[in-house]
Amino acid sequence: MPESDILQAGTPADSKAVASLYFDTTAPLLDVQELRVDFQTKEGVAHAVNGVSFTLEAGRTLGILGESGCGKSVTAQAIMGILDSPPARVVGGKVLLSGVDLLTLNEDARRQIRANRIGMVFQDALSALNPVFTVGWQLGELFRKHRDFSRKQAKQEAVRLLDLVGIPAAGQRVDDFPHQFSGGMRQRVMIAMALALDPNVIIADEPTTALDVTVQAQIMKLLADLQAERNMGLILITHDIGVVADVADDICVMYAGREVEKADVYAIYDSPAHPYTQALLESIPRVDMKGQQLASIQGLPPNLTSMPSGCAFHPRCRFARERCREDTPPLYTVTPGRLSACHFFQEVLDS
């Protein structure tokens, strides 16, 4: 479906608040600028996201990479507007969806954006699906509440979606409960739910983490196929650098709530420009390195309430010098379109 069609025609159930918005088809599909999210905790304010920026075009896949606790999921939930606040609070930045800043919209309009324009796939489908409703009901709910479909129509749509994501005998399984599905099948249901209302953007938060390796590959392929077919923008959040390699077009590496490196996937794999990316890459098990000690990153991600001075990565960095303890590195342009937040990126590139 051509992007302009989706964007020009407000979906039937769009409230006035959304219908009156001007979605600019020439602007980037999703443009996140200097996003900041704080968490109010007992120990003080935790800066979970510290000025993250990235752009996603239609038909492209952006992989957001990082260890757990580095702010990936918080970024995703801030874009969706489903952060728990309190304790979380978006304290700065912009989230532009086709030129419209979502952060300035009222709650009703934001609610309409969810599922209609941005869909989300969660990590653990067993807990992310409501255990007491059938999958057909949960899928159909989207059509009944956003499109005013009848129960019967909604169920037909649910069957169609289950079929689309490759669930065998969709007509019968539509009345099953989440716990009756296998892990991979449940994740397909999640994907069907994210796709249901033809959103322009899908955010998949660790979509394959809880799955077997073989099933992981199937789910990634399904996501990639659907994305290509529908020309959607896909944000793929993962801690597993192997998962994004085949699917992502661009990679954004996050550390301690900041992006530390941004580049296209080939450049990153070829020669990382940030020591953290390099460390992540070295920690992938590889067939040609069989028998050797697998590298791991020393230490733990920093405590978000008391961030290290200067570059947040310096306590764990093998390139760290005096300067890293004092100056926070800006995002240096390594080559056009390629950024790295390391004072010594050249050194890293060469190593």
Partner 1 sequence: MGRYAVRRLLQFIPVLIGTLFLLHYLTTLSFQFNGNPVRALFGDRQPPPETIAALTRAFGLDDPCLSQPGNPCVGMFVERVGGYLRGDFGVDFNLQPVTDLITRAAPVTLRLTLLAIVFESVVGILAGVIAGLRKERFADNLVRISTVLVISVPIFVVGVLTQIIFGLYIGNWVRDRTESETMEAIFSISYQSDHPWASLIIPSMVLGATSLGIIARMTRTELIESLRSDYVRTARAKGLKPTRIVGIHALRNCLIPVVTLIGIDIGGLMAGALITEGIFNIPGIGGLVFRSVRTGETPIIMAVVPLLVLVYLIASLLVDLLYAVLDPRIRYE
**For residue 104, how many C-alpha atoms fall within 13 Å in the half-sphere facing its CB?**
8
Q: From the CB of 204, what's the least distance to partner 1, in Å? A: 12
Binder to partner 1 among 36, 89, 94, 111 (CB under 8 A)? 111
Q: From the CB of 302, what's the least distance to partner 1, in Å? A: 25
The DSSP output letter for 139 is: H
Of the pair 111, 338, the CB lying nearest partner 1 is at 111
Q: 245 is written with which tokens?
A: 């390699």
Q: From the CB of 185, what's the least distance to partner 1, in Å? A: 15
Using rule CB under 8 A, residue 180 touches partner 1: yes
E-strand ranges in 42-187 read 44-56, 61-65, 88-97, 100-101, 118-121
CA–CA dist 28, 95 (Å, integer): 11
Using rule CB under 8 A, residue 239 touches partner 1: no
CA–CA dist 267, 224 (Å, integer): 21
Q: From the CB of 10, what's the least distance to partner 1, in Å? A: 14
Q: From the CB of 236, what's the least distance to partner 1, in Å? A: 16
**Cβ atoms of 105 and 167 closer than 8 Å:** no
Instruction: Mark 286-325 with x for binding to partner 1 (rule: CB under 8 A) and - for no binding.
Output: ----------------------------------------
E-strand ranges in the chain read 30-41, 44-56, 61-65, 88-97, 100-101, 118-121, 201-205, 233-238, 250-255, 258-264, 332-335, 338-340
Binder to partner 1 among 119, 140, 257, 301 (CB under 8 A)? 119
Using rule CB under 8 A, residue 42 touches partner 1: no
Q: What are phi and psi of 337, to 5 degrees?
A: 85, 5
Using rule CB under 8 A, residue 115 touches partner 1: yes
Residues of the shown chain interacting with partner 1 in the complex, contacts defined by CB under 8 A: 77, 80, 82, 84, 111-116, 119-120, 122, 124, 127-134, 141-142, 145-146, 177, 179-180, 193
